[in-house]
Amino acid sequence: MSQNWGPVQRFPERLGQAQKVVAIPRKRARPPETIFLDRDEIESTLAALPQEGRYALRDRTLLIFLYNTGARVQETADLRVTDIHFDPSPRVHLHGKGDKWRVCPLWEETANLLNKLLTEHGWASAPDQLVFTGATDAALTRFGIYKIIRRYTTHVVRKRADGRLRPVSPHVWRHSTAVHLLEAGVEVNVIRVFGWAMQASRQPIGMPKLLSEPNKLLWKDVSCRRPQTRGFRGNLFGKPTPRC
Catalytic one of 80, 85, 158, 171:
171
SS3 label, residue 72: coil
Residues in the chain, overall count: 244
Annotated catalytic residue, options 91, 93, 174, 226: 174
Alpha-carbon torsion, ordered 214, 215, 217, 223, to 10 deg: 160
Q: Is 97 part of the annotated catalytic residue set?
A: yes
Active-site residue, selected from the candidate residues 58, 72, 95, 226: 72
> CA 178 to CA 187: how far, in whole Å?
11
Distance from C-alpha of 70 to C-alpha of 176, rounded to nearest angstrom? 8
The rounded distance, in Å, linking the Cα atoms of 73 and 26 is: 33
Let me know if 174 is a catalytic residue: yes
Q: Sign of the CA dihedral 104, 71, 150, 147?
A: negative
Query: What gap in Å lies between CA 163 and CA 161, rounded to an integer?
Result: 5
Is 72 among the residues known to form the active site? yes
Catalytic residues: 72, 97, 171, 174
